[in-house]
């Protein structure tokens, strides 16, 4: 009974401090671990360490492969944990933002600003009974979440966090990314079918149809930055861009701006985010393909759904928004700070940390944009969804692809063209941003209200 609730013995100040410690410390520790581990777990470094620390020749020592494997395993563990924790914190942040957009208070009980809610939810889900419907296809029902999780976790292999901070800079990076996300579709389809439920089946079918359709505009739109950089490697694409907005892929080519919009929309659809959340439309399909799931398996789907926000945002940042490029710090600066040492000095680590900060900030901006779109637009109908894909996105993606081919030829002739386009489009975007903020202010004033963040 609320009136007889035992008074909490923890003072509000302690709650805020603990929340801040966990809320900043947890991601901070993970970022630090990624910062430290991703340059150090490279096979060459491990080989050199083996040679230096153990005094054996890494080429003939039988356990070199094992040492490399363990190092990569630790990095993978950190990355998967990063995905999980970022997913949970995104849930909390999204719920806070959505409640404000709907004039509600939102999470505010567990911890300051309700920050521990996502941990409480996760713990609750872990303790729930793992139900499997009686007539479900046991094997497929149990295995489907693993496909989804694998597709999600594998994406982190090629997500750059900074100049040298990437698990593996595959030279087929972008291609690999598109390929592994296909595993998620397999998982969703299997989940839909094996649940032996109408709703789950419809959800799975819708999701598959949607993801297959939107892979085409996404793939073609991705070709635009690939053409502009001449490489499939994620780091290569970032290196081909500059640090300032007018050097970003999204602005140096008018078609690339269109491609960015197409890519962004397709990513929303592939991640089953509103306004494309038809596969789990609550009002029609209960929860779509995860209707029959409970407990930990349900938690896995949820983790992937929200963790995908980070992946989507990081990929968009890498391909179009300049990635981790820090202003005034060119490749020579990194090379100079790197030196020839096996373990580079503090200056290099500082630069790496700086590039990571830039990358994370840009990613968070895009992530917030995705959250913002979700709480703005209503769900679209399935025919509208297909129309949008096949009649608008696909032709426009091909058009921007062709335009980019010609544009690259033109830029090869007159390199100033890219700069002109970059400056013009950056200025236009800045102008639009100002107009947009004025429009927002006008909306506020029209209601006789004002900016008030006191109750955040």
Partner 1 sequence: MPTTVREYTGSIRDTVKSFWHGLSITLSYLVRRPITVQYPDRTTLPVRDMLPPRYRGFLEVDASICTGCQACERACPISCIQISLEKDPQNPKQRVVTQFDIDEAKCMFCGLCVEPCPTGSIQHTREFEGSQADLRNLVIRWSDPLHPFPVYKVDKAAEYLPRVELGTLVRAKLAARAWDAPGPRFLPPEPPAAPAAPAAGDATPAKP
Partner 2 sequence: MNLTPGKILGWLAGAALVAAFLVGMAQLAIGPAAGAWSATAAGPLGVRDVLFYVLAALTVAGAGGVAFARNILHSAIGLLMALLGAGALYVLLSADFLAVTQLLVYIGGVLVLVLFAVMLTSRIGEVNVSNASVGVVGGLLLLAAVAPVLVAVALLTPWRLIAPGPAVATTAALGDAFLTRWLLPFEVASMVLLATLVGAIVIARKEIKAD
Q: What is the 3-state secondary structure (H, E, C) of 119-183?
A: HHHHHHHHHCCCCCCCCCCHHHHHHHHHHHHHHHHHHHHHCCCCCCCCCCCCCCHHHHHHHHCHH
Residue 313 or 337 having the CB closest to partner 1: 313
Q: Write out the two tokens for 436.
A: 């947009």
Residue 14 or 376 having the CB closest to partner 1: 376
Q: How far is the CB of 230 from partner 2 (least distance, A)?
A: 9
Would you say 242 and 325 are in contact if contact means Cβ atoms under 8 Å apart?
yes
Q: How many residues in the shown chain lie near partner 1 by CB under 8 A?
A: 36
Q: Which does 455 bind (CB under 5 to 8 A by kind): partner 1, partner 2, none?
A: partner 1
Between CA 47 and CA 56, with CA 52 as vertex, the angle to 5 degrees is 75
Residue 64 or 117 having the CB closest to partner 1: 117
Question: Which stretches of the chain bind partner 2, using CB under 8 A?
Answer: 62, 65-66, 69, 137, 139-140, 143, 170-172, 175-176, 178-183, 185-186, 189-190, 192-194, 201, 204-205, 208-209, 212, 215, 232
Q: Is 12 in the site for partner 1 (CB under 8 A)?
A: no
| Cα distances (angstroms) measured from residue 219 to each of 19, 204, 308, 354, 400 | 41, 22, 17, 31, 12
Residue 91 or 155 having the CB closest to partner 2: 155
| Cα distances (angstroms) measured from residue 271 to each of 138, 234, 263, 304 | 26, 20, 12, 9
Q: Tell whether the torsion through CA atoms of 163, 169, 171 and 173 is positive or negative.
A: negative
Among 65-73, 104-112, 165-173, 280-288, the segment contacting partner 1 (CB under 8 A): 104-112
Between CA 437 and CA 447, with CA 442 as vertex, the angle to 5 degrees is 135
Q: Is 392 in the site for partner 1 (CB under 8 A)?
A: yes
Q: Is 108 in the site for partner 1 (CB under 8 A)?
A: yes
Which phi and psi angles does 52 have, rounded to 5°? -80, -45
Q: Write out the two tokens for 48.
A: 């050199």
Residue 338 or 379 having the CB closest to partner 1: 379
Instruction: Collapse the DSSP code of 280 into the 3-class scheme (helix H, G, I; strand E, B; otherwise coil) and give the result.
Output: helix
Q: For the window 49-88, what string marks contact with partner 1 as x by the rule CB under 8 A?
A: ----------------------------------------
Residue 103 or 283 having the CB closest to partner 1: 103
Residue 168 or 261 having the CB closest to partner 2: 168
Residue 59 or 446 having the CB closest to partner 1: 446
* d(C-alpha 82, C-alpha 38), whole Å: 13
Q: Which does 52 bind (CB under 5 to 8 A by kind): partner 1, partner 2, none?
A: none
Q: Is 110 in the site for partner 1 (CB under 8 A)?
A: no
Among 16-24, 70-78, 384-392, 415-423, the segment contacting partner 1 (CB under 8 A): 384-392
* CB within 8 Å of 377: residues ≥ 6 apart: 274, 275
Among 2-10, 140-148, 166-174, 337-345, the segment contacting partner 1 (CB under 8 A): 2-10
Q: For the window 353-372, what string marks contact with partner 1 as x by the rule CB under 8 A?
A: -------------------x
Q: How far is the CB of 278 from partner 1 (least distance, A)?
A: 17
Among 100-108, 228-236, 353-361, 409-417, the segment contacting partner 1 (CB under 8 A): 100-108
Q: Which does 99 bind (CB under 5 to 8 A by kind): partner 2, partner 1, none?
A: partner 1
Instruction: Collapse the DSSP code of 195 into the 3-class scheme (helix H, G, I; strand E, B; otherwise coil) and give the result.
Output: coil
With tokens 């544009």, the residue in question is 407
The single-letter DSSP state of residue 15 is H
Interacting residue with partner 1 among 377, 427, 431, 433 (CB under 8 A): 377
* CB within 8 Å of 60: residues ≥ 6 apart: none
Interacting residue with partner 1 among 32, 97, 329, 382 (CB under 8 A): 97
Q: Which does 205 bind (CB under 5 to 8 A by kind): partner 1, partner 2, none?
A: partner 2
Residue 230 or 330 having the CB closest to partner 2: 230
Which phi and psi angles does 44 have, rounded to 5°? -60, -45
Q: How far is CA 68 from the centre of its chain?
A: 27
* d(C-alpha 131, C-alpha 123), whole Å: 17
Residues that bind partner 1 (CB under 8 A): 1-4, 97, 99-105, 108, 372-373, 375-377, 383, 387, 391-392, 436, 439-441, 443-444, 447, 449-455
């Amino acid at each position: 009974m609320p009136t007889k609730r035992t008074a909490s013995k923890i003072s509000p100040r302690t709650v805020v401090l603990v929340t801040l410690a966990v809320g900043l410390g947890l991601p901070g520790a993970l970022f630090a671990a990624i910062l430290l581990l991703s340059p150090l777990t490279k096979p060459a470094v491990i080989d050199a360490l083996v040679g230096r620390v153990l005094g054996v020749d890494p080429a003939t020592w039988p356990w070199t492969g094992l040492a490399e494997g363990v190092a990569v395993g630790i990095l993978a563990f950190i990355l998967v944990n990063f995905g999980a924790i970022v997913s949970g914190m995104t849930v909390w942040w999204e719920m806070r933002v959505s409640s404000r957009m709907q004039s509600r208070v939102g999470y505010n009980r567990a911890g300051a600003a309700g920050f521990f809610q996502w941990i409480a939810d996760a713990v609750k889900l872990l303790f729930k009974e793992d139900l499997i419907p009686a007539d479900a296809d046991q094997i497929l029902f149990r295995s489907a979440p693993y496909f989804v999780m694998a597709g999600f976790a594998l994406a982190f292999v090629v997500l750059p966090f900074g100049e040298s901070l990437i698990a593996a800079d595959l030279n087929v990076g972008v291609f690999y990314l598109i390929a592994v996300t296909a595993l998620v579709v397999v998982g969703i389809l299997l989940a839909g079918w094996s649940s032996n439920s109408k709703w789950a089946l419809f959800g799975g079918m819708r999701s598959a149809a949607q993801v297959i359709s939107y892979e085409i505009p996404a793939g073609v739109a991705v070709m635009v930055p690939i053409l502009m950089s001449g490489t499939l490697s994620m780091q290569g694409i970032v290196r081909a861009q500059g640090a300032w907005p007018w050097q970003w892929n999204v602005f140096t080519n008018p078609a690339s701006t269109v491609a960015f919009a197409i890519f962004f929309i397709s990513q929303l659809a592939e991640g089953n985010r509103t306004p494309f959340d038809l596969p789990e439309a609550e009002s029609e399909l209960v929860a779509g393909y995860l209707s029959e799931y409970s407990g930990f398996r349900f938690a896995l789907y949820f983790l992937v759904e929200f963790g995908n926000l980070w992946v989507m945002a990081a990929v968009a940042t890498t391909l179009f928004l300049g990635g981790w490029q820090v202003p005034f710090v060119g490749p020579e600066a990194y090379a100079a700070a790197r030196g020839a040492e096996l373990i580079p000095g503090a200056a290099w680590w500082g630069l790496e940390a700086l590039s990571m900060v830039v990358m994370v900030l840009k990613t968070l901006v895009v992530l917030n944009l995705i959250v913002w779109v979700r709480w703005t637009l209503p769900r679209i109908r399935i025919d509208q969804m297909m129309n949008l894909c096949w009649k608008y996105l696909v032709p426009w993606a091909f058009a921007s692809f062709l335009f980019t081919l010609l544009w690259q030829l033109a830029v090869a002739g007159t390199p100033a063209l890219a700069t002109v386009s970059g400056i013009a489009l950056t200025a236009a975007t800045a102008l639009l941003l100002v107009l947009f903020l004025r429009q927002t202010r006008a909306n506020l004033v029209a209601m006789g209200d004002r900016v008030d963040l006191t109750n955040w």
